[in-house]
Amino acid sequence: MPQLLSLIVPFYNEEDAVGIFAASVCPVLEAIPDTQWEIICVDDGSRDATLPRLLELAAAEPRIRVVELSRNFGKEAALTAGLEAARGDAVIPIDADLQDPPELIPAMVAAWRGGAEVVAGRRTDRSTDTAMKRGTASLFYRLNRYISNIELPENVGDFRLMDRAVVEALKRLPERQRFMKGLFAWLGFKTAIIDYTRTPRTAGESKFSGFKLWNFALEGFTSFSTTPLKIWTYLGALGAVIALLYAVFIMLRTLIFGNAVPGYASIFVAVTFFGSVQLISIGVLGEYIGRIYVETKQRPIYLVRKFHNF
Ligand code: UDP
Ligand code: MG
């Protein structure tokens, strides 16, 4: 029995990438021995001609299947939709813009057949990303190592081969807010790493920028660590100790030198400082409460309008 390989590709406003993607991926898949393949294209509510182009491909090639989402749910939700629709013995999420080189897929399959349950691609060279993006990414990983109990392997993205067992495990994680990198890391399993160079986008432009990346980082921290909640206990304790020492100092000074009535500046500084600290800590609480709120609603992660070629 040949094994089935499923590719999962999220598409959001990628009309120019659709054709190039299929043209470069299909030959690679055909050349892998003893495998059948399917490509699950998830249209994440694109507003351009992405969907009609995908359907055109699907009409000509029954192994290209299309999951049409009802609106834009974001990449993580689109990947989840693809994972749930995939039937392969091994599943590989891959970006539509060919920034994850399809040429790596045969090597991933070989490592999987050699016994690895996860074969992750690691970017050795991110020179195609902006200096800003590289800098903030590295800061994120470093900070995450301090505050989180799950170590995120650096420069490893969503491009990875997963055995069926791993996919089934991933499907059991029910959270609505899906920080995929973290979820992958949380799963464990026997993992092999393959290095590759990240190439520039083939067409279109990146959907992740500035504020979106910041929110992504917050998601990462709050999904896998409660440290940001706990530091306030210690900061508060430290502040209380300092305040107490200062009170003792003032009392002694008054007893020894009498009361000279200054102190406007120190009171003002203390009031504004602790006011801001309290606002920040309330903000951190808010981040977590907001996430609890979203999780308790138990809404589906994505909605499908239609399955094509299933
Ligand atoms: N994507 C998606 N939904 C979104 C944003 C992005 O499905 O809301 C897809 C996008 O079409 C692409 C992949 O996610 O296939 C990666 O996006 P992008 O290349 O913009 O991210 P970057 O490579 O810049 O991190
Ligand atoms: Mg990209």
* pLDDT for res 83: 95
Question: What DSSP line would sit under 148-176, residue for residue?
Answer: -SSPPPTTEEEEEEEEHHHHHHHHT---S
Where do we find the tokens 């013995």?
89
Percent of the chain topping pLDDT 90: 43
Judge if 165 and 50 occupy the same domain. yes
- Of 50, 97, 136, the one to substitute when testing ligand 1's pocket (max ligand atoms within 8 A of C-beta) is 97
Judge if 63 and 158 occupy the same domain. yes
Judge if 189 and 238 occupy the same domain. no
Q: How confident is the model at residue 209 (pLDDT cuts 50, 70, 90)?
A: confident
Whole-number Å distance, alpha carbon 54 to ligand 2 midpoint, is 18
Average pLDDT of the chain, as a whole number: 87
Structural domains in the chain (count): 2
Where do we find the tokens 């990628």?
14
Residue range 267-285: mean pLDDT, rounded: 81
Judge if 236 and 203 occupy the same domain. no
Is 155's pLDDT higher than 70? yes
Q: How confident is the model at residue 203 (pLDDT cuts 50, 70, 90)?
A: confident
Judge if 200 and 271 occupy the same domain. no
Is residue 35 helix, strand or coil?
Answer: strand
The binding-site residues of ligand 1, defined as CB within 6 angstroms of any ligand atom, are: 10-12, 14, 44, 72, 74-75, 78, 95-97, 99, 206-208
Is 85's pLDDT higher than 80? yes
Residue range 259-283: mean pLDDT, rounded: 78
Judge if 291 and 148 occupy the same domain. no
> Two tokens at 8?
């999962």
Judge if 96 and 141 occupy the same domain. yes
Contact of 72 with 305, CB cutoff 8 Å: no
* pLDDT for res 260: 66
Is 175's pLDDT higher than 80? yes
* Long-range Cβ contact pairs of 166-173 (< 8 A, separation 24 or more): 166/117, 166/118, 167/83, 167/86, 167/91, 170/83, 171/83, 171/84
Whole-structure pTM value? 0.80
Return phi, psi of residue 165, to 5°: -60, -40
Is 306's pLDDT higher than 90? yes
Which domain covers residue 282, as residue numbers?
227-296
Contact of 203 with 14, CB cutoff 8 Å: yes
| 126 falls within a domain | yes
Q: How confident is the model at residue 192 (pLDDT cuts 50, 70, 90)?
A: very high
Give, using CA atoms, the residue closest to atom 24 of ligand 1.
206
| 66 falls within a domain | yes
| 41 falls within a domain | yes
Is residue 261 helix, strand or coil?
Answer: coil
Q: Which residue has the higher pLDDT, 240 or 71?
A: 71
